[in-house]
Amino acid sequence: MNCEQLRRLLDAYMDGELSDAQLREMEAHAAACEDCRREFEAAKLVRDALGSLPEEVDVPLEAQASWRRAVREEAGRDAWPDERTAAYVRAKRNSSHRWMRAVYAVAAALVLVLGATAMLGRMPARKAVEPLMVAASEDAASESGAAAASPTQAVVARDGDVEASTLLQDESYAARKAYGAEDFAAACATVEELTEEYGGKFTTDQTGGGWAVYRVELPREYLEDFLSAVSHVGEEQNSESADVAGDTAVVYIEINELKSE
């Protein structure tokens, strides 16, 4: 073996592709040639040092949380209706759920009255909206006293500090549904009321305008009825279900505001 031949085999050496015979020849030449000895040793160092580095490195917790949060925020934006959804809704608008929209109108009016009462009577906003709100949304409502000035805002408790990650745990759920609704506030209120009606509890995250997700926990025996009742809040955009054992069932309901033209 000469110098040139040895240099040409260095990559194959790095790649672990040399035969024993080739290796022996390289070593024999290196023993007799100072330059090639250095070169060969350097190749060994590169191979050993880089080869001993791990292929995986633990991601610091804050970085793990950070990218997951970013993805959830991105997912929230995605949940906004796209052109296709809007067209679908336009096509169906006049044929479906006419009566349900009437219910929304009544619900919205009710909220309006309650909100106005809160304003005029200088009652705390929290009291005024209590019939429509439980659990997590209470704090947000009491903090934002001014929310009563815009009644629908009071129902749609928006708390920028609430992170979706606190709600959307990696857990098995019985169902996950997404609905698009023109009257966002009324749809949210309906989910909340139905939860109560079927003996459940909810927590909610509403990190962006026109988007809300509810985590509802309710007795398994009411699951089917609850889902069927909830299906009237809007146009179904996404639906998934799974067989999960246990006496209580966890359901995620997502509401996306549909912009009307």
Partner 1 sequence: MEIDEKRLIERASSGDPEAFNRLMANHERRMYAVALRLCANREDAQDCLQEAMLRVYRAIGGFKGESSFSTWLYRITMNTCLDELRRRKNKQSASLDDLLDEGWAPADERGSPEGHAVRAEANRVLRQAIRELPEDMRAAVVLRDIQGCAYEEIAQALNINVGTIKSRISRGREKLREKLKQNPELFDTAGV
Exposed/middle/buried for residue 248 (C-beta within 10 Å: 0-12, 13-18, 19+): middle
Binding residue (CB under 5 A) for Zn ion from 12, 14, 18, 33: 33
Q: How far is the CB of 30 from partner 1 (least distance, A)?
A: 7
Q: Per CB under 8 A, does 34 bind partner 1?
A: no
Site residues for Zn ion, 123-162, by CB under 5 A, read none
Determine whether 161 is exposed, middle or buried from the number of CB atoms within 10 Å of its CB (0-12, 13-18, 19+): exposed
Minimum CB separation of residue 66 from partner 1 in Å reads 6
Nearer to partner 1, 31 or 109 (CB): 31
Residue 190 Cβ, how far from partner 1 at the closest point, in Å? 24
Query: How far, in Å, CA of 79 to CA of 212, rounded?
Result: 10
**Distance between CA atoms of 83 and 194, rounded to whole angstroms?**
30
Question: By CB under 8 A, is residue 170 in contact with partner 1?
Answer: yes
List Cα–Cα distances, 180 to 167, 184, 188, 232, 240, in angstroms.
Answer: 20, 8, 11, 10, 16
Q: Structure tokens of 126?
A: 């929290």
Q: Minimum distance from CB of 73 to Zn ion (Å)?
A: 59
Q: Which stretch binds Zn ion (CB under 5 A): 35-43, 62-70, 141-149, 152-160?
A: 35-43
27 vs 138 by CB, closer to Zn ion: 27
Going from the C-alpha of 47 to that of each of 19, 51, 106, 179, the distances in angstroms are 17, 6, 74, 56
Is 33 a binder of partner 1 (CB under 8 A)? no
Q: Should residue 3 be labelled a site residue for Zn ion when binding is judged by CB under 5 A?
A: yes
Three-point CA angle 228, 232, 233, nearest 5°: 120
| Residue type present at position 153 | Q
Interface with Zn ion (CB under 5 A): 3, 33, 36
Interface with partner 1 (CB under 8 A): 10-11, 14, 27, 30-31, 37-39, 41-60, 63-64, 66-68, 70-72, 74-75, 78-79, 168, 170, 176, 238, 240
